[in-house]
C-alpha cells in the first residue's frame, strides 16, 4: 500500500492531540468514576465509531501510538481504544440468562466488529500494511464491547424491582492451562438463587467477593431489572430493602 502524500495544515496535530485527550478523559471517567453511568457508557460505546469516522474523513492513521513514519497524520487510534472501556458493563451489571437478548447482543457485536474492520480496510489509511493489525485488533475488541455499552446506556432507565431467594453459595476454583504446562487458577464466588427473571428454576450467578461474604443462605435479595435497547435485559443485585439502583447512577 503506497504512502499517502498530504500537506500538513496543522489539523493533523490537533486531531492527534484531541484523540489522545479524549482517550485519557474517557479512561479516568469510565474506569475510575463513571457518573452519570449512562452517559459514560454511551460515549464509550460511540468512541470507536467516532474515531473510525474521523480517520476516514481526514484520511489519517488510526494506529494507537505516534509512529514517525506515519506523521503528520493524526493518531486517532486512541478513540478506538477508548471503546474498550465499554466492557466495564460486564463488571458492573449482570445480564439475564437465556432468551434472544443475549444472541442479539452477540450478533450486534460481531456485526459492529466486522463493520469497523471493513471501514478501516476500505480506505488507504496506512503507509505500511503491517500496521493494519493494530487497528483491526482494536476494532474487533471495541466492536464486541460497544453493543453492550450502548444496550445499557440507551435502555430503559426506570427499572422493575423484585426479589430472589438465595438457596446456596459456593466458591468455585477453575484451573486453566497455560504454556509450558503451567496452570492459572480462577476463583468464582457463586450464589444459587430462585426467582431470577429469565431463568427457569434455580440459577447460579457470580458476584464480587465482598458481596458474597455478606450474603446468607435463605436471605432474600432485591434486584433492579432494566430493559436493554438491544433486547438484552440487565439487572443490579443488592441486599433488601436498600434499592439496588442507588449503587449505579444512570442518566
CA angle 145, 151, 152 (to 5 degrees): 100
Question: How confident is the model over 93-106, as pLDDT tens digits?
Answer: 889 887 788 888 88
Confidence check: pLDDT of 63 > 90: no
Pick the last residue of a domain from 153, 175, 192.
153
125 pLDDT band, cuts 50/70/90, is low
Q: Are residues 123 and 71 in the same domain?
A: yes
Instruction: Answer yes or no: is 2 within a domain.
Output: no
Residue 1 located in a structural domain: no
Instruction: Based on the fold, state whether residues 225 and 170 are members of the same structural domain.
Output: yes
Q: What strand order describes the sheet that includes 183-194? A: 94-95, 234-239, 220-226, 160-177, 183-194, 203-207
Is 62 contained in some domain?
yes
Q: Are 174 and 132 in a shared domain?
A: no
Q: What is the number of structural domains in the chain? A: 2
Mean pLDDT of the chain: 77
Specify whether 149 is located in the same domain as 164: no
182 and 141, same structural domain? no
pTM for this predicted structure: 0.77
Q: Is residue 6 part of a domain?
A: no
Tens of pLDDT along 174-215? 876 666 556 777 888 999 999 988 888 889 999 989 999 999
Q: Which of 124, 153, 182 is the last residue of a domain?
A: 153
**Residues 42 and 149: beta-carbon distance below 8 Å:** yes
Considering the domain architecture, whether residues 77 and 201 belong to the same structural domain is answered as no
- Same-domain pairing of 135 and 201: no
Single out the residue in 132, 153, 174 at which a domain terminates: 153
Q: What is the pLDDT of residue 133?
A: 75
Same domain for 175 and 107, yes or no, is no
Mean pLDDT within 100-118: 85
* Average pLDDT estimate for 126-131: 60
Looking at the structure, tell me whether residues 164 and 222 fall in a common domain: yes
Domain span including residue 164: 160-247
pLDDT of 91 over the 50 cut: yes
Domain CATH number, residue 219: 2.40.50.660
For residue 250, give the 3-state DSSP assignment.
Answer: coil
Mean pLDDT, residues 75-87: 70
Is 224 contained in some domain?
A: yes
Tell me the average pLDDT across 40-60: 77
Look up residue 247 and give its DSSP letter. Answer: G
User: Same domain for 181 and 234?
Assistant: yes
Residue 165 scores a pLDDT above 90: yes
Question: CB-based burial of residue 91 (10 Å sphere; 0-12 exposed, 13-18 middle, 19+ buried)?
Answer: exposed
Report yes or no on 231 lying in a domain. Answer: yes
Q: Is the pLDDT at 2 greater than 70, yes or no?
A: no
Q: Lowest-confidence range among 106-115, 136-145, 191-200, 214-223?
A: 136-145
111 falls within a domain: yes
Residue 219's CB: how many other CB atoms inside 10 A? 14
Q: 68 or 123: which carries more pLDDT confidence?
A: 123
Same domain, 149 and 201: no
What pLDDT is attached to residue 22? 77
Beta strands in the chain (DSSP E): 94-95, 160-177, 183-194, 203-207, 220-226, 234-239
Write the CB contacts of 200 (distance below 8 Å, at least 6 apart in sequence). 98
User: Is 23 a member of any domain?
Assistant: yes
Does residue 172 share a domain with residue 66? no
Instruction: Judge whether residue 160 has pLDDT over 60.
Output: yes
- What is residue 69's predicted lDDT score, i.e. its pLDDT? 43
Share of the chain above pLDDT 90, in %: 19
Asked if the model's pLDDT at residue 118 lies above 70, the reply is: yes
Amino acid at each position: 500500500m503506497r504512502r499517502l502524500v498530504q500537506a500538513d495544515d496543522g489539523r493533523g496535530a490537533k486531531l492527534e492531540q484531541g484523540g489522545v485527550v479524549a482517550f485519557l478523559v474517557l479512561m479516568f471517567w469510565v474506569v475510575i468514576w463513571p457518573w452519570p453511568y449512562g452517559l459514560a457508557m454511551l460515549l464509550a460505546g460511540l468512541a470507536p465509531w467516532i474515531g473510525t469516522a474521523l480517520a476516514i474523513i481526514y484520511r489519517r492513521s488510526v494506529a494507537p501510538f505516534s509512529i514517525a513514519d506515519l506523521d503528520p497524520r493524526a493518531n486517532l487510534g486512541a478513540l478506538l481504544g477508548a471503546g474498550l472501556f465499554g466492557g466495564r458493563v460486564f463488571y458492573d451489571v449482570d445480564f439475564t440468562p437465556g432468551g434472544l437478548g443475549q444472541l442479539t447482543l452477540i450478533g450486534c457485536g460481531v456485526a459492529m466488529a466486522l463493520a469497523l474492520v471493513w471501514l478501516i480496510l476500505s480506505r488507504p489509511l496506512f503507509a505500511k500494511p503491517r500496521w493494519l493489525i493494530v487497528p483491526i485488533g482494536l476494532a474487533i475488541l471495541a466492536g464486541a464491547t460497544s453493543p453492550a455499552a450502548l444496550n445499557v446506556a440507551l435502555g430503559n432507565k426506570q427499572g422493575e424491582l423484585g426479589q430472589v431467594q438465595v438457596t446456596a453459595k459456593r466458591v468455585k476454583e477453575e484451573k486453566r492451562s497455560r504454556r509450558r504446562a503451567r496452570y492459572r487458577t480462577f476463583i468464582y464466588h457463586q450464589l444459587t438463587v430462585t426467582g431470577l427473571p429469565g431463568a427457569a428454576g434455580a440459577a447460579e450467578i457470580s458476584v464480587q467477593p465482598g458481596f458474597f461474604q455478606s450474603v446468607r443462605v435463605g436471605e432474600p435479595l432485591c434486584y433492579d431489572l432494566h430493559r436493554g435497547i438491544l433486547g438484552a435485559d440487565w439487572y443490579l443485585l443488592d441486599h433488601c430493602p436498600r434499592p439496588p439502583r442507588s449503587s449505579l447512577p444512570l442518566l
